[in-house]
Amino acid sequence: MPAGAPLLTLSGVSKHFGGLQVINDLDFVVHEEETVGLIGPNGAGKSTVFNLITSIYQPDRGSIKFKGNEITGLAPHKICHLGISRTYQLVRAFLKMTVMENVMTAAVYGAKHLSQSPKQRTMEALELVELSDKRDIKAAHLTLSDRRLLEIAMGLSSMPALVLLDEPMAGLTEVEIQRLLGVIGATRDERRFSVLWIEHKVDAVLDFCDRVGVLDYGAKIADGCPDDVACNPKVIEAYLGEPVA
Amino acid sequence: MGGIERIESADVRLVAGTKGLNKRKLIWAGLGVLAVVFFGTLPFYYDVHNGQYGVFFFNVFVYAIVAQGWNLIGGYTGQISLGQNAFFGIGAYTMALLWFNDVTKTGYYFDPVLMIASAVAPAIVAVLVGLPLLSRLRGDYFAFGTLGMGMIVTVLFINGGYFTGGAEGRMLVSKMPPDVVFNLRTHYWVAFLVAVLVTLVVYFLTSSRVGLALKAIREDEVAAASHGVNVLKYKVIAFAVGASTAGVAGSIYGYYLLQVTPSNVLTQNWLFYPILMVVLGGTGTILGPWVGAFLIYLLSWYGDQYFTGYSPILSGVVIILVMLFLPSGIMGLGQKVPDWGKRVRGSG
């Protein structure tokens, strides 16, 4: 897929917690209609990147631009209004609310001035993730995989330009992973949004993404098409350790 | 009380907009209207001024108003405010001081302007206090922040000198218009009307789009923000509406006592009893505060008669039992019934 104009640009972003440098001078770009994977070993700082983009943390240095506008330090809800939606590694649905109410909340507050009514967008998002028939069930009673789909539906209902997926496949069975991949692939092709995908399961990302970035100790060690990244000695080293002499 | 709790689930589905539930909603709306008609016309066939149940229900209504306000901020939005007595007191004092100093010059008894002012003043305080507290403090820390605010307000009114009347407060008896005879019937009706209005406001607020934001904040603040909810804005709205309901209740109570002092309108009774009522009735349900207000006040009413001096122990025991066996309140108990019904219907 040919890459369009840059949608999200991180330049020189750094973040530390106490003495721990979590993100170190990170440059990263996501283009329009591009699916980008972000992989790396445990503690490489992948989720922190998401928390910086969505303003849950403020970067120490560097700038984050979305559609050419500076979004560094903007309130989290404003970042959502601009068209960035995200999911969480540990699903954060509103457990005591029904599936419908969950998605309605995101549809009503996630975006303003859209031609479609929030209800239409809710129904459509539920249709896309195939949760329509479970819309009156409370989120607390859903399975983990349905909750992940619910969170994706919540993100979709605000018609985002960029979807951030934080380890959507963690804890799912093979069948559930296939279903999730199918849903994400189909909606991406229909809605034409960009995806930035953090994942631990490297093979899924390498199959699914146009481009893959690799983080290790908060620094980007590789960035390119999946095949090149998979063969990159630095990446292999980050995952498997240094080669023996 | 068998199925009052279903109102809550019907309310949930109002947003979901599914079919087949209008019937149940109609039944509950009908029962609600019946209850309103019964309590609204009670003074016509029962002497509420001389009969003891007039005072009883008057107090239940005042507590129900404060409890409903706390339900909005604590039950629906999940922000535990421990400052409701301050708002109750500010409301009572707003009415008393404006009346005492003849600011409106109308000389009415139950002056609507004063009652509106006693709703607006606490809301302004709530916004001013809420902005820093709600943006900086979460959970328990917010609760302690509001507790501190309540203490500050109490001390300010005690030491208010001539302006507030200090510890003796303000006597309002002399301000009674000469042609008005004190009759509890008026107080009963005003308290009942306001309690019903506040319940309707909380109902429509929580079953509207605003309610989605409030519940989302209660469930997960971070997720709510990342789905586009302006968390601070909606928390402050809920805090201010909760404060102004407490303020109106304060003014109604002030009209009843005709003397407003720190020890009767700023007492922590107006903080802990309403919370107890909401928790017993069911937090985040529209009828929970009513059920709780009725039961808790009933308990302290008869407790005072039969165990004079020890009745707070009864309330304490009740709250321990509720926390142990009914953590989601009486309404939560019934919540299981519609769920069960749904499953049966689903399989059939």
Domain positions in chain B? 6-336
The pLDDT, as a whole number, for residue B335 is 56
Chain A residues lying within 8 Å of B216, measured CB to CB:
94, 97, 105, 109
Given a contact cutoff of 8 angstroms between Cβ atoms, the answer to whether B207 and B45 are in contact is no
Chain A residues lying within 8 Å of B230, measured CB to CB:
75, 77, 109
CATH 1.10.3470 for the B6-336 domain, yes or no: yes
Give the containing element (helix H, strand E) for A18.
none
Contact A94 B12 (CB under 8 A): no
Residue A9, strand partner residues? A29, A65
- Domains assigned to chain A: 1-83+200-245 (3.40.50.300)
Contact A136 B222 (CB under 8 A): no
Of the candidate ranges A218-222, B162-166, B173-177, B222-226, the one whose mean pLDDT is the lowest: B173-177
B140 pLDDT higher than 90 = no
Cross-sheet strand order for the sheet of A20-31: A20-31, A6-17, A61-66, A69-70
Of A77, A82, A51, A81, residue with least CA distance to A65: A82
Q: A64: which 2 tokens?
A: 């984050």
B2 pLDDT higher than 50 = no
The pLDDT, as a whole number, for residue A216 is 87
Cα separation, B319 vs B298, in Å, equals 14
B10 pLDDT higher than 50 = no
Entry pTM:
0.88
User: What are the residue ranges in chain A where pLDDT is below 50?
Assistant: 1
Give the containing element (helix H, strand E) for A220.
strand A219-224
B24 pLDDT higher than 60 = yes
Number of other CB atoms surrounding residue B193 within 10 Å: 14
Contact B16 A100 (CB under 8 A): yes
The pLDDT, as a whole number, for residue B345 is 44
Instruction: Compare B161 and A86 and report the one with higher pLDDT.
Output: A86
Contact A94 B219 (CB under 8 A): yes
- Residues 148-167 on A with a CB inside 8 Å of B are 154-155, 158
Cα separation, B282 vs A223, in Å, equals 54
The pLDDT, as a whole number, for residue B72 is 95
SS3 B261: coil
Cα separation, B264 vs A68, in Å, equals 60
B193 pLDDT higher than 90 = yes
Number of other CB atoms surrounding residue B72 within 10 Å: 29
Q: Of B220, B222, B227, which is closest to A110 when you measure between CB atoms? A: B227
Q: pLDDT tens digits for B195-245?
A: 999 999 999 999 999 999 999 999 999 999 999 999 999 999 999 999 999
Show Cβ contacts of residue B346 under 8 Å, excluding neighbours closer than 6 positions.
none
Of the candidate ranges A73-77, A106-110, B254-258, B324-328, the one whose mean pLDDT is the lowest: B324-328
The pLDDT, as a whole number, for residue B334 is 60
Give the containing element (helix H, strand E) for B336.
helix B329-347
CB proximity B219 to A under 8 Å: yes
Phi/psi of residue B106, each to 5°? Answer: -80, -30
The pLDDT, as a whole number, for residue A222 is 85
Q: pLDDT tens digits for B54-108?
A: 999 999 999 999 999 999 999 999 999 999 999 999 999 999 999 888 887 777 7
The pLDDT, as a whole number, for residue A113 is 64
The percent of residues above 90 in pLDDT, for chain B, comes to 53
Given a contact cutoff of 8 angstroms between Cβ atoms, the answer to whether A148 and B221 are in contact is no
Tell me the pLDDT band of B14, cut-offs 50, 70 and 90: very low
Maximum mean pLDDT: which of A206-210, A238-242, B272-276, B315-319: B272-276
B348 pLDDT higher than 50 = no
The pLDDT, as a whole number, for residue A117 is 87
Chain B residues lying within 8 Å of A75, measured CB to CB:
225, 230
User: Rounded to an integer, what is the distance from CA B213 to the centroid of its chain?
Assistant: 21
SS3 content of chain B, % helix, strand, coil (to 5): 75, 0, 20
CB proximity B226 to A under 8 Å: yes
Instruction: Compare B61 and B184 and report the one with higher pLDDT.
Output: B61
The pLDDT, as a whole number, for residue B129 is 94
Q: Which amino acid is at B89?
A: G
Chain A residues lying within 8 Å of B220, measured CB to CB:
92-94
- Angle at which helices B269-281 and B288-306 pack, to 10 degrees? 120
In the predicted model, what is the mean pLDDT of chain B? Answer: 85
CB proximity A54 to B under 8 Å: yes
Give the A:B interface size as CB pairs under 8 Å.
94
